[in-house]
Amino acid sequence: MTAVTQSRNIDFLTQQAKRVRVEILKMLTESGSGHTGGSLSAADIATALYFYKMKHNPQEPKWTERDRFILSKGHAAPLLYTVLALTGYFNKALLGGLRKVGCPLQGHPSSKLLQGVEVSTGSLGQGLSIANGMALGLRLGKNPARVYCLMGDGETQEGQIWEAAMTAGHYMLDNLCAIVDLNGLQIDGRCADVMKIDPVAGKWKAFNWHVFEINGHNMEEIVNALDEAEKVKGKPSVILAKTVKSKGVSFFEDKAEYHGVTPTKEELEKALKELA
């Protein structure tokens, strides 16, 4: 039961990811406020989830057996809003209202304001704990749905992430798949300079997670990891996706200053030409 055409066609998914980036940039430019870098870096991942892997139905957002997606890095709301709009949860024209008074597309996602948002997020470090609770509840209810939780790498400096990681490993939540957007940057600079998180894979393995390490911009690697994660039994899975901040716009890429800075109209025009 899904109203979204799920396709494993890599070329199709790659084109959809480009479309997602275009809409993110347009939305942010019109708003003049929002987070560019982390929305663009995770665009390929979110595209693979919403256009391929996840079971979901925009016509019935509360369908009991839907897969759940938690955007733990809630400041990347433009990304979530875009994939929701492009898969039919609401009219794409609403994207132009980002962060405007009276528009449900607030700076951080609100489940009370917008269909398709599973839970309100924005306070970093909390999403994985919420995902754990959902996964446990689904398992207790013998519901086959899966839970996907997208985190930022700077976010994993939060202690609550590791409490949640220990919990998921202990309860062997194999219906849970976490994804870490490893773009190497946070608002204050390089993650390695602010608070080192390496060795990343070793940490997750120590908490009894099955670890996948991939190129977060290679669509085939992304869908393969998502497929393999679904086969893992007896432990949760985490996909460590190596990405580039602001991927897709060469003059924004790998620059911490574009974490929360939106494009100017001139920059948008130049970026759209690159993505054409």
Q: Which strands make up the sheet holding 176-182, listed edge to edge?
A: 68-71, 147-152, 176-182, 237-242, 210-215
pTM, to two decimals: 0.97
Distances (CA, A) of 195 to 28, 46, 65, 178, 192: 29, 26, 39, 21, 6
Is the residue at 1 inside a domain? no
Is the residue at 210 inside a domain? yes
Return averaged pLDDT per consecutive 10 residues of the chain, 276 residues in all: 68 97 98 97 98 96 97 98 97 96 96 97 97 98 98 98 98 98 97 97 98 98 98 98 98 96 97 96
Question: What pLDDT score was predicted for residue 2?
Answer: 47
Is the residue at 180 inside a domain? yes
CA distance 35 to 247: 13
The total of structural domains in the chain comes to: 1
Question: What pLDDT score was predicted for residue 4?
Answer: 61
Question: What pLDDT score was predicted for residue 128?
Answer: 98
* Interstrand relation of 176-182 and 237-242 (parallel, antiparallel or unpaired): parallel
Token digits for 155? 């976010």
Question: What pLDDT score was predicted for residue 5?
Answer: 56
Q: What is the DSSP letter of 254?
A: T
Give 3-22 pLDDT, tens digit per residue: 565 778 999 999 999 999 99
Is the residue at 2 inside a domain? no
Give 173-203 pLDDT, tens digit per residue: 999 999 999 999 999 999 999 999 999 999 9
Question: What pLDDT score was predicted for residue 1?
Answer: 41
Is the residue at 184 inside a domain? yes
Domain that holds residue 94: 10-275
Is the residue at 263 inside a domain? yes
Amino acid at 249: V
Summary count for the chain: helices (H), strands (E): 10, 7
Is the residue at 3 inside a domain? no
Question: What pLDDT score was predicted for residue 7?
Answer: 76
CATH number for 22: 3.40.50.970
Is the residue at 244 inside a domain? yes
